[in-house]
């Protein structure tokens, strides 16, 4: 049974909505009968996405607003545009994200990654959340995180830090919402697996066998939100939930067992981790 926020004629706002998972979510919501507002950087990509959605769902049910999620006045303008056309938002999907690469001792990209991936989600929730609560209707705030924010593999520390922050913020957000009187809005941490999108394509023009499509990932998200999950931990064609759980368990036990951080990649622990995955000691 679908979550009550997914009712036809309700309103979904998706940042990073012009491509990838965001656009797949916008199309899925529109096909469910929702009114859809997509926000993304100004340009051809946003206009093409708007035109596609308008063709499929009708221009009266679609809004596209050029928005830089690092800019609070632009987020406020997005909310005002949604209010003016649709009367408010029932679903907010804070999905905008970037992954240009990073390293520990090079400051390049750190500010932009944190500004988009972490503060874009924080500010989006702060701009839309209070008015969503005031509607006193079932609502959803879905924040796109990453497994890299949980198991934090080496190689892209700024991205990991941003997505670790999204996890922590969304947990705090859900706690705040469930302790707010007369609030019918819930928060959910969306954790995609390997998804073939422009962000993850890495120059590939065909979907790798191990990846899910954006559409598969969105369908899984809708299913698990409707089931009441907070942590929407998505599998893919290579990684099962059981494998994800073992990786998360091992990462958490670095602290519990006082191992070196990221011991999964430490030469003294790699064989032990491999044995753990196989179910041996």
Confidence of residue 206 (pLDDT cuts 50, 70, 90): confident
Inform me whether the pLDDT recorded for 205 exceeds 80.
no
Which tokens hold the place of 73? 């006045």
The pLDDT of residue 281: 46
Question: With the C-alpha atoms ordered 141, 194, 247, 103, is the resulting torsion angle positive or negative?
Answer: negative
| Per-residue model confidence as pLDDT tens digits over 148-199 | 999 999 999 999 999 999 999 999 999 999 999 999 999 999 999 999 987 6
Other C-beta atoms lying within 10 Å of the C-beta of residue 210 = 12
Output the CA–CA distances (angstroms, integers) from residue 202 to 15, 143, 195, 196, in the order listed: 22, 23, 12, 9
Give bridge partners of residue 231 from the DSSP assignment: 189
| Per-residue model confidence as pLDDT tens digits over 47-93 | 999 999 999 999 999 999 999 999 999 999 999 999 999 999 999 99
65 neighbors 86 (Cβ within 8 angstroms): no
Which tokens hold the place of 6? 């997914």
d(CA 134, CA 118): 25
pTM metric for this prediction: 0.95
Other C-beta atoms lying within 10 Å of the C-beta of residue 280 = 8
| Per-residue model confidence as pLDDT tens digits over 26-51 | 999 999 999 999 999 999 999 999 99
| Per-residue model confidence as pLDDT tens digits over 210-231 | 999 999 999 999 999 999 999 9
Other C-beta atoms lying within 10 Å of the C-beta of residue 262 = 14
Supply the residues annotated as catalytic. Answer: 159
263 neighbors 254 (Cβ within 8 angstroms): yes
The pLDDT of residue 207: 87
Indicate the helix (H) or strand (E) that contains 119. none
Question: With the C-alpha atoms ordered 25, 28, 34, 35, is the resulting torsion angle positive or negative?
Answer: positive
Look-up of token digits 């913020």: 169
Q: Return the percentage of the chain with pLDDT > 90, whole number.
A: 94
Short-list 140, 141, 163, CA closest to 150 = 163
């Amino acid at each position: 049974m679908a979550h009550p926020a997914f009712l036809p004629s309700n309103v979904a706002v998706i940042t990073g909505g012009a491509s990838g998972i965001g656009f797949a979510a916008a199309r899925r919501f529109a096909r469910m009968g929702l009114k859809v507002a997509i926000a993304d950087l100004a340009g051809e990509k946003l206009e093409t996405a708007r035109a596609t959605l308008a063709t499929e769902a009708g221009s009266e049910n679609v809004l596209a607003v050029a928005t830089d999620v690092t800019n609070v006045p632009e987020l406020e303008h997005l909310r005002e545009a949604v209010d003016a056309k649709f009367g408010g938002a029932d679903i907010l999907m804070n999905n905008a994200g970037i992954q240009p690469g990073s390293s520990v001792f090079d400051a390049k990209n750190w500010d932009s990654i944190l500004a988009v991936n972490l503060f874009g989600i924080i500010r989006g929730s702060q701009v839309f959340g209070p008015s969503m609560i005031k509607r006193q209707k079932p609502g959803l705030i879905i924040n796109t995180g990453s497994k890299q924010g949980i198991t934090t593999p080496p190689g892209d520390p700024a991205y990991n830090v941003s997505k670790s922050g999204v996890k922590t913020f969304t947990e705090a957000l859900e706690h705040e919402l469930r302790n707010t009187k007369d609030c019918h809005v819930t928060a959910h941490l969306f954790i995609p697996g390997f998804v073939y999108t422009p962000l993850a394509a890495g120059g590939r023009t065909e979907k790798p066998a191990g990846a899910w499509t954006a559409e598969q990932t969105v369908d899984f998200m809708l299913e698990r939100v409707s089931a009441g999950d907070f942590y929407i931990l998505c599998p893919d064609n290579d990684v099962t939930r059981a494998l994800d759980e073992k990786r998360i368990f091992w990462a958490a036990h670095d602290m519990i067992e006082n191992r070196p951080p990221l011991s999964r990649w430490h030469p003294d622990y790699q064989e032990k981790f491999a044995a753990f995955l196989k179910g041996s000691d």
